[in-house]
Amino acid sequence: MEELNDVKDLLPPEANVDDIKFEASDIVVYTNSKDFFLDHSDVIQDIVSKLKKRVEVRPSSKLFNKPEAAEEKLYDLIDERDNAEIDNVIFQPSLGKMIIRTHKPGSIIGKKGRGLQKIKEATLWAPQVERVPAISSKVVDRARELTVEDPEFRKKFLHDVGKKIRLDKSVGDEWIRVSALGGFRQVGRSCVLLQTEESNVLMDAGINPSAESGSKENYPFLNAPELDLQQLDAVVLSHAHMDHVGMIPYLYKMGYDGPLYCTKPTRDLMIMMCLDYIGLAHSENAKAPYDSSDIKKAVKRTITPDYGEVTDITPDMRLTLKNSGHIIGSALCHIHVGEGLHNLLYTGDYNYDQTEMLRPADTNFQRVETMITESTYGGRDDKQTPREESNKKFLSKVKQTLNKGGKVIVPVFAVGRSQEVLGLLADEMQRDYFDYNVYIDGMINDVNALHTAYPEFLSKKVQNKVNDEDSPFLMDNVKPIGSHHERKEVYEDDACIILTTSGSITGGPVMSYLQEEASNPDNTLIFVGYQFEGSLGRKIQEGTDKVNINGDKVDVNLSTYTVSGFSAHSDRQQIINFSKNLRSTPNKILTNHGEESKCFSLASSLHKILNIDTSAPQNLETIRLN
């Protein structure tokens, strides 16, 4: 509590402090003074400069207006300006926050934040603005409601976290080790444990999509002797694909009660993906390893730093998340141990290339001693087709199929690949000749809705389109399919494009489309993503002419075509370029998230090119880093 006393001592008497609380790694001052609440920047800047901690000022319950009066004043202010299309206003008295959900955040915030300042002056609440998705989605609505539930619990939880993570600046030459609990020499069930004498941090906990549901191979090694959930200090989630996020709620079911760190889009996608996982298990008369209450536990304990924001997560670890270019909100996870003792970069999945939707992975890390890099396409012959060439190949095959009256089926992951393909097709839809329907099935429409809520995480090209009201997600030709009954419309369409999950054909609505359309030689199945070993997608890609779908033997007569350049992963050369272009070249690189031969091949090449220590650990191996 020493830091709270330091802040209190540095505050002037006129601050009229009601309370000071930790909010994870931040500090919040609750004031009874209207003047201090509205004008405190110089004082707080001086405190931040001295203590090197983020400090925020919020009103106490004795200061802010009653919610009804505050909302009325808010709408009076909005009426004086352009219509900001406010969806709803959520008050959190225990936190002194007023959350304004709107379709036009810029109208609320105003130039240089003047709009927010006027709201503060009129209501004496601390306003927080959230963008409402431009696409209606009950799934997104439910996910976002979970993020604001129980603010009283949230306040106490964040204060308790803050007390536990005060950084110990006297850390010496202690040991640091990582344990491979999943995703090493394989693709799936990613999970890494980082430990010091002081701290235990888990990075990712996913499922293996290609393994039989419920089997031991389906889950990471959470029973490893190195992992004690009761001693776990923090969980860091790189992104919300199921091979990284699928078992996060299970940690909370089994007794973990600490913080989960990820970006805001990753948090929301986690809710959607894990709820869908439960629903899919029920539809197959199976049982998921957790239920919705465990997802709720995770959300209530999630802390969402911005890209580039340094956050204390244990007494001797600081976390920085940066854009990884893989999917919306995906992050490279940099952990600084002690005071300069060691720096680890866990890449999760990343793409060192400009795409339709996202910027390339960030290389601006001041220090990296050890890097754990994915190796999905790290094999000697793994070379991505340049994006421009991939676009041409994809569109050529699409037009060829449509011109002869066939359907194009594109199995895609709901998050990432589907938006990349849709962005390319949106450009075509703006041309007069393209008047075909693009049907989207599975969770894709819900994920699209989430993209419209966080345009700041997207590429400049897409941000500009959204700002110009030319969003690729809102084209007239894009037709969401919400039920099995609505698929009849797709079957009856003469020539169309179907974007559908799952991306590796392991289940989901793509099975229905193949059952109905695979026997027609006029149709085309275009693979734009990685097909897991053992998946039905891999079998079709390798040329099988008959598949079993829902108990039926289905002839595969349609054309199959693979376009590699749409990958959300870096290829071998991009991984090498990323490693070379890091601001700080690592001393050691560990490879994971790749088939065994690719992990070894990439490790060998990085060793020769960078002249550093590299290895391809196996699951359950522990590596000391210092």
Task: Give 256-310 pLDDT, tens digit per residue.
Answer: 999 999 999 999 999 999 998 998 888 888 889 999 999 999 999 999 999 999 9
Residue 339 pLDDT: 87
More confidently predicted of 598 and 384:
598
More confidently predicted of 184 and 416:
184
What is the domain partition of the chain in residue ranges?
A: 2-59, 71-132, 165-381+569-624, 387-566
The identity of residue 152, as a single letter, is E
| Angle in degrees, CA 381, 386, 389, rounded to 5 | 120
Measured in whole angstroms, the distance separating CA 54 from the mean position of its chain's CA atoms is 24
Q: Which of 24, 27, 58 is nearest to 40 (CA)?
A: 58
> Hey, do 2-59 and 387-566 end up sharing a CATH topology, with the first three levels equal?
no
Whole-number Å distance between alpha carbons of 107 and 86: 10
Q: What is the pLDDT of residues 69-122, one digit of tens each?
A: 999 999 988 875 556 689 999 999 999 999 999 998 988 998 999 999 999 999
Residue 82 pLDDT: 58
Instruction: Please determine, for residue 43, whether its predicted confidence score (pLDDT) is greater than 60.
Output: yes
Task: For residue 482, name the pLDDT band (cuts at 50, 70, 90).
Answer: confident
Tell me how crowded residue 377 is: count the other CB atoms within 10 A of its CB: 22
Q: What are phi and psi of 271, to 5 degrees?
A: -60, -50
CB-CB contact of 111 with 118 (8 Å): no
Whole-number Å distance between alpha carbons of 92 and 487: 43
Q: What is the pLDDT of residues 581-592, one digit of tens each?
A: 999 999 999 999
**DSSP letter string, 513-577:** HHHHHTT-TT-EEEE-S---TTSHHHHHHTT-SEEEETTEEEE--SEEEE-GGG-SS-BHHHHHH
CB-CB contact of 150 with 293 (8 Å): no
Three-state DSSP at 424 gives helix
Residue 393 pLDDT: 94
Of the candidate CATH numbers 3.30.300.230, 2.60.40.10, 3.30.420.40, 2.40.160.10, the domain formed by 2-59 belongs to 3.30.300.230
C-alpha dihedral sign at 8, 13, 18, 24: negative
Radius of gyration of the chain (CA): 25
CB-CB contact of 70 with 91 (8 Å): yes
The set of residues, in sequence order, having a beta carbon less than 8 Å from that of 501 and lying 6+ positions away, is 411, 412, 413, 414, 418, 441, 442, 443, 444, 508, 509, 510
CATH topology of domain 165-381+569-624: Metallo-beta-lactamase; Chain A (3.60.15)
Q: What is the average pLDDT across 134-155?
A: 91
**pLDDT more than 70, % of the chain:** 98
Q: What is the pLDDT of residues 394-411, one digit of tens each?
A: 999 999 999 999 999 999
Long-range contacts of 425-434 (CB under 8 A, 24+ apart): 425/497, 426/472, 426/475, 426/478, 427/472, 428/395, 429/475, 429/476, 429/477, 434/477
Say whether domain 71-132 belongs to CATH 3.40.50.150. Answer: no
Q: What is the pLDDT of residues 222-258, one digit of tens each?
A: 999 999 999 999 999 999 999 999 999 999 999 999 9
Q: What is the pLDDT of residues 541-571, one digit of tens each?
A: 998 988 988 888 999 999 999 998 888 899 9
Whole-number Å distance between alpha carbons of 378 and 384: 11
Cis (ω within 30 of 0) for the bond into 502? yes
Instruction: Please determine, for residue 131, whether its predicted confidence score (pLDDT) is greater than 70.
Output: yes
Q: What is the pLDDT of residues 352-372, one digit of tens each?
A: 998 989 999 999 999 999 999
Q: What is the average pLDDT across 169-197?
A: 88
624 has which bridge partners? 177
Residue 80 pLDDT: 58
CATH architecture of residue range(s) 387-566: 3-Layer(aba) Sandwich (3.40)
| Angle in degrees, CA 479, 389, 591, rounded to 5 | 95
Whole-number Å distance between alpha carbons of 626 and 612: 15
Q: What is the pLDDT of residues 327-346, one digit of tens each?
A: 999 999 999 999 889 999 99
Task: For residue 143, name the pLDDT band (cuts at 50, 70, 90).
Answer: confident
Q: Look up residue 497 and give its DSSP letter.
A: E
Instruction: Please determine, for residue 171, whether its predicted confidence score (pLDDT) is greater than 60.
Output: no
CB-CB contact of 377 with 571 (8 Å): yes
Tokens at residue 246, please? 């699928």
Residue 209 pLDDT: 82
Q: What is the pTM of this model?
A: 0.92
Burial class (CB in 10 A: 0-12, 13-18, 19+), 617: buried
Instruction: Please determine, for residue 168, whether its predicted confidence score (pLDDT) is greater than 60.
Output: no
Whole-number Å distance between alpha carbons of 142 and 329: 19
CB-CB contact of 143 with 582 (8 Å): no
What rounded mean pLDDT belongs to the chain? 92
Q: Which of 64, 314, 55 is nearest to 194 (CA)?
A: 314
